[in-house]
Amino acid sequence: MTATVSEHRLLIGGRQVETGEWVDVRSPYSGEIVGRVAKGGAAEARQALDAAAAALESPIPAFERAAILDRVAHLIEERSEDLAGTISAEAGKPLKTARVEAQRAASTYTFAAVEARKLSGETVPMDASAAGVGKLAFTLRLPIGVIGAISPFNFPANLVAHKIAPALAAGCPVVLKPASSTPLSALFLANLEVEAGLPPGWVNVVVGSAGAIGDEIVADERVKLITFTGSGGVGWNLAERAHTKRVKLELGNATPAIVCADAPEDTAAKLAANAFSFAGQSCISVQRIFVLADRWDSFVADFVPRVEALKVGDPADEDTDVGPVINEGERDRIVSWIHETKGDVLTGGEVTDGLIRPTVIANPSPEDKVSCDEIFGPVVSLYRVASLDEAIERANETRYGLQAAVFTADLKSALRAARELEFGGVTVNEAPTFRADQMPYGGVKASGNTKEGPAWTVREMTEERLVILQL
């Protein structure tokens, strides 16, 4: 351990907590230690839950919650280069992509501040029934209680923001367990909330053993909602175990895009950029492209050179498009899926200097893992199809349902695809990887059971109390 490695404590009840043990955070690119974080477990999770429950006893009025959220947004903007550097160092995300994430985290706080200011219930038209005549009724939106938040490695800042910012907007204290490989960005944001004036206990961050911390969050009756983003196996298991709580899941996808014969000129450019950004480690990274036969030859001729032109290398370099995947185990899994496929590898497929070259596979079998599971790596498959009917049917042949895309100049085809693709969101003439932070974003089927985006999350994190007045 060199003296220059930064050390970070857990944030519990407003205090910086040491535990005597440390988690080393390593660069996925070089393997060097980029920071170390105090390692927590069940005991620290319980302290954090106690601190959150105590915070709930002293509610913060909406105008103050909104002002804190706005101040955090400004602080992120002021320190966006530091945050982007932290994201890039711990996740191996190319710096230019990390900068976009830092900006998006600021906008997530801004949208959460808006929601804090306008959170309100509804009036009920009581005299619409004879029984209601002479009564006035309305709902109050009340904080649901303590929130347990569990976040993944791939957007270590903005997906944390999508949990802790709406929680504060809703008036709920939160206990966050970030991914063990990327806890630094989460602590960065939580500490900015403290700097922005958040009283103790409203945000608590416990890094360490997922099972031990997760079990405490599941078992504690004061936790009324768990918000989880990550893999389906972990998420659905949490939902089963925490059946008395609201468990909101944002999970994976095997993202399809349909390219019709009349797709716009820039279709290949958009899809090439969005299949390989952050080495394909986005839940809506383009994975399966269904190309109609009339467009097949020209699309392949346009797409493959664009993929080959992407710059693969050190995520800290300004020009890098594609960096490492999160660890060697994931790298080996992805390569083994490429080796198993029955399709033709048109480009890539090998590992150079520890990095998977961006890989394009033509016509793998529907049973290949690259077709039916979430690859979460720099690999995209192209499928030649005879018709829009076939494209929609095959795009839907997946247990997942997060986002999908169709590229066409024909409004009827676009609207048909939008109706028939069984996904939480459908983009038209835009990569399915597109997300703006005010959107309702979330999947159906195995991809989850909720919509994230501050306006939607705040409603999940509150409950309606009906008040009936006899006049």
List interacting residues with ligand NAP (CB under 6 A).
150-155, 159, 177-181, 210-211, 214, 229-231, 234, 250-252, 283, 374, 376, 402, 443, 448
DSSP structural state of residue 373: S
Which of these is catalytic: 250, 330, 374, 460? 250
- Identify the DSSP state of 384: E
- Three-class secondary structure of residue 239 per DSSP: helix
- Of the two residues 178 and 315, which places its CB atom closer to ligand NAP in the complex? 178
Q: Dig out the tokens for 336 from the structure.
A: 């083994």
CA 139 to chain centre: 31
Active site residue: 283, 330, 452, 460, which one?
283
Q: Which is nearer to ligand NAP, 145 or 443 (CB)?
A: 443
8-state DSSP, 385: E
Residue nearest to ligand NAP (CB): 214
Q: Which is nearer to ligand NAP, 145 or 280 (CB)?
A: 280
Complex with ligand NAP: residue 47 or 450, whichever CB lies closer:
450
Tell me the CA distances in angstroms from 456 to 163, 299, 451, 462, one per residue in order.
11, 38, 6, 10
329 φ/ψ sector (left φ>0, alpha ψ -120 to 50, else beta): alpha
d(CA 42, CA 211): 9
- 283 belongs to the catalytic site: yes
Q: How far is the CB of 154 from ligand NAP (least distance, A)?
A: 5
- Choose between 238 and 346: whose C-beta lies nearer to ligand NAP: 238
- Give me the phi and psi of 117, to 5 degrees please: -75, -25
Rounded Cα distance, 153 and 301, in Å: 34
Phi-psi region of 2 (alpha: psi -120 to 50; beta: other; left: phi over 0): beta
Cβ 218 to ligand NAP shortest distance, Å: 8
Name the minimum Å distance from CB 352 to ligand NAP.
24
Least distance from C-beta 423 to ligand NAP, angstroms?
12
Q: How far apart are CA 62 and CA 116, in angstroms?
A: 6
Tell me the closest approach of the beta carbon of residue 397 to ligand NAP, in angstroms: 18
Least CB distance from residue 237 to ligand NAP, whole Å?
A: 7
Burial level of 67, CB count in 10 A (0-12/13-18/19+)?
middle
How is residue 397 written in tokens?
């042949």
Q: Could you tell me which residues come within 8 angstroms of residue 459 by beta carbon, excluding any fewer than 6 positions away?
A: 141
Whose Cβ is closer to ligand NAP: residue 173's or residue 208's? 208
Question: What three-state secondary structure class fits 137?
Answer: strand
Our answer to whether residue 372 is catalytic in this structure is no
Q: Smaller CB distance to ligand NAP: residue 229 or 413?
A: 229
**Smallest gap from residue 390 Cβ to ligand NAP (A):** 26
Distance between CA atoms of residues 324 and 462, nearest Å: 39
- What 8-state DSSP symbol labels residue 128? G
Q: Which residue numbers are catalytic?
A: 250, 283
